[in-house]
Amino acid sequence: MSEFPAAITFVSAETEDAREAAARLSALYGQEKLADADIIVALGGDGFMLQTMRDTMGSGKRIYGMNRGTIGFLMNEYREEGLRERIAAAVPETIRPLEMTATDAEGLSHKALAINEVSLLRQSYQAAKIRIAIDEKERLEELICDGVMVATPAGSTAYNLSAQGPILPLDAPLLALTPVSPFRPRRWRGALLPNQSTVDFEILEPQKRPVNAVADHTEIKSVQRVRVRESHDLTVTVMFDASHSWDERILSEQFRY
């Protein structure tokens, strides 16, 4: 249980529903300046929640999301009454992002953070050829595929799940390494890695088989090499209603059919 919040700020997506909700809640509970807030209440969908998490990464502020979007897997149910009590009783979860360092065809280095996943995706009709090393030891000499990703526990229910990757509890000290439509080796379905692992991807035949790297919504085109690891320093804290915690969501997702 968190401390009873004294200072709340409301932020919203650009949709009409989200903006109207922010206006009503601000009138009910007040609106602190972002710099002075203890709790940020994010109103929108999962995409807006991820944006809010990136914008406040490392600030020490806690984020409580309420769904005014479509799926809302990262969000709590939208209700206007008893908000301070709900936040006080919410369960905090600490999330660490992935750090991506990508080198493009011109030798330039690009850095980006990902809360969900870092994915490498073929850029043309040609399948990608990718060499994979874990902690500087080659583990897969050549993966021929549409792509491959490293997903965090928070991102394991997103693109990773669509690619048949494993669902991870939020507190699991693991990362999911998941291929997208692997052709060779055909039976390889990915791996679970300790969250302290460093994953290096080398693009083979990059001119013939160009590959883009994507860290959540940041895309780097025509990469040659990509390094991915969990951040050692940056964190963000997300709060979930105790009645519908992240662990409960993960269990429910695994029994969907």
Q: Which residues are catalytic?
A: 46
Contact 74, 46 (CB under 8 A): yes
Q: State the Cα–Cα distance between residues 118 and 197, nearest whole angstrom.
A: 14
Q: 91-95 and 236-240 as β-strands: parallel, antiparallel, unpaired? A: antiparallel
Q: State the Cα–Cα distance between residues 50 and 211, nearest whole angstrom.
A: 24
E strands, 29-183, are 39-44, 62-67, 91-95, 98-104, 109-114, 117-122, 128-134, 137-145, 147-151, 174-180
Q: State the Cα–Cα distance between residues 120 and 213, nearest whole angstrom.
A: 4
Q: State the Cα–Cα distance between residues 257 and 242, nearest whole angstrom.
A: 25
What is the four-CA torsion angle of 22, 24, 30, 33, rounded to 10 degrees? 20
Q: State the Cα–Cα distance between residues 112 and 197, nearest whole angstrom.
A: 18
* Feature table: binding site for NAD(+): 46-47, 116-117, 146, 154, 157-162
Outline where the chain has alpha helix (H).
16-29, 46-55, 83-89, 159-162, 246-254
Closest CA to 253 of 69, 73, 78: 73
Tell me the sheet residues that pair with 41: 10, 64
